[in-house]
Amino acid sequence: MTVLRRARPALGTLVELGIRTSEGPRRATRPGWGEAALSAGWAALAEVEGAMSAFLPESDVFRFNAAPAGARLEVRSGTAAVLRLSRALWRESGGLLDVSLGTGPAAWSLDSAGGTPVLCKHAAEVRLDLGGIAKGYAVDRALEALAAAAAEAAQPPACWVNAGGDLRTRGVAVRVHLRDERAGGARPWIELREGALATSDFGARARARLAGEAPRARHVSVVSPRCCLSDALTKVVALSGRADHPLVLAHRARAFIHDPLR
């Protein structure tokens, strides 16, 4: 079995792309297709980061945050997809998942009527931060790019993407080590064969942020079919303190609370 595995700094963390390029006596394919697949994966990641990072001036999120009230901004289709999912999860979670981080969950809307999606800003103070969901979405897009390249090379997709704990795999079993965020070290925890796993840490010094309320669980993982969903659901589980939150069950996900606070 030949595996190509590379890591780069991206999305504010270390991102690893992996693809199995051969297994036993398989048909011959174009040489170098694995490297080309990795390039496509990096490009997919960069595209999501370029659209949704709050730090890049050309990003949709940066432009929205800088815009005055009443602004109507054309946004990229990926941004629109993440915003649609965010809106749906905000409703379904009773407001627990809020990409405006409390600055105005109802003060933005998406108008997709005219073809190109348009993001509308209804109040000057509303700010968007897609950090809690866009990283998972970027993982999904990178995985799809890898899988598409494999399919093009007449190989069954066997690839994975891991962005600092937001991980998705297709056709490859990945043994996931759970990092001890306080004492260091990592212990073998789960073998993910298909699907997506996101782990978030909401401790006092953690980088992840939640809107308003204090979390009821600190260290949370969610397994679901898509990484953007796993990523978003970690916040719902942390804020509710419930691994069996109805939203988790509704999305056929499974949640783990590693370190309950109360």
Partner 1 sequence: MWARYRRVSFTLLAPAAVLVAPAPSFAVDYLTAEQAQAESFPGADRFEVREVELSPEERAALASRLAAPFPRSRWTLRLAWRGGELLGALVVDDVVGKFERITYSVGLGPDGIIRQVEILSYRESHGQEVRLPLWRKQFVGKSAASPLRIGEDIAGISGATLSCAHVAEGVRRIAHAFPELLRAGGVTP
Residues that bind partner 1 (CB under 8 A): 5-14, 16, 49, 52-56, 59, 129-132, 134-135, 138, 144, 147, 151, 156-157, 163-166, 170, 175, 177, 179-181, 183-197, 199-201, 206-209, 223-226, 231, 252-254
What is the separation, in whole angstroms, between the first and last Cα of the chain?
46
Q: Which helix (H) or strand (E) holds 170?
A: strand 166-179
Q: Give whichever of 16 and 92 is closer to partner 1, judged by the CB atom.
A: 16
* Residue 13: closest CA among 101, 131, 100: 131
Q: What is the C-alpha to C-alpha distance for residues 222 and 254, in angstroms, rounded to an integer?
A: 6
The residue type at 209 = R
In the complex, minimum distance from the CB of residue 243 to partner 1, in angstroms, rounded to a whole number: 13
Q: Give whichever of 110 and 208 is closer to partner 1, judged by the CB atom.
A: 208
Q: What is the chain's length?
A: 262
In the complex, minimum distance from the CB of residue 48 to partner 1, in angstroms, rounded to a whole number: 9
In the complex, minimum distance from the CB of residue 87 to partner 1, in angstroms, rounded to a whole number: 19
Q: Give whichever of 117 and 195 is closer to partner 1, judged by the CB atom.
A: 195
Beta-ladder partners of 9? 14
Dihedral sign, CA of 197, 203, 207, 213? positive
In the complex, minimum distance from the CB of residue 70 to partner 1, in angstroms, rounded to a whole number: 27
* Residue 8: closest CA among 31, 53, 42, 56: 42
Q: Give whichever of 50 and 118 is closer to partner 1, judged by the CB atom.
A: 50
Name the token pair of 93. 């979670």
Q: Give whichever of 107 and 208 is closer to partner 1, judged by the CB atom.
A: 208
Sequence-distant (6+) residues with CB within 8 A of 84 are: 110
Q: What is the C-alpha to C-alpha distance for residues 51 and 61, in angstroms, rounded to an integer?
A: 7
Q: Give whichever of 224 and 240 is closer to partner 1, judged by the CB atom.
A: 224
In the complex, minimum distance from the CB of residue 114 to partner 1, in angstroms, rounded to a whole number: 28
The residue type at 181 = E
Please answer whether residues 168 and 248 qualify as being in contact, where contact means their C-beta atoms are separated by less than 8 angstroms. Answer: no
In the complex, minimum distance from the CB of residue 165 to partner 1, in angstroms, rounded to a whole number: 5
In the complex, minimum distance from the CB of residue 35 to partner 1, in angstroms, rounded to a whole number: 8
DSSP, collapsed to helix, strand or coil, labels residue 196 as strand
**In 60-130, where does DSSP find H-type helix?**
60-66, 77-92
Q: Give whichever of 126 and 223 is closer to partner 1, judged by the CB atom.
A: 223
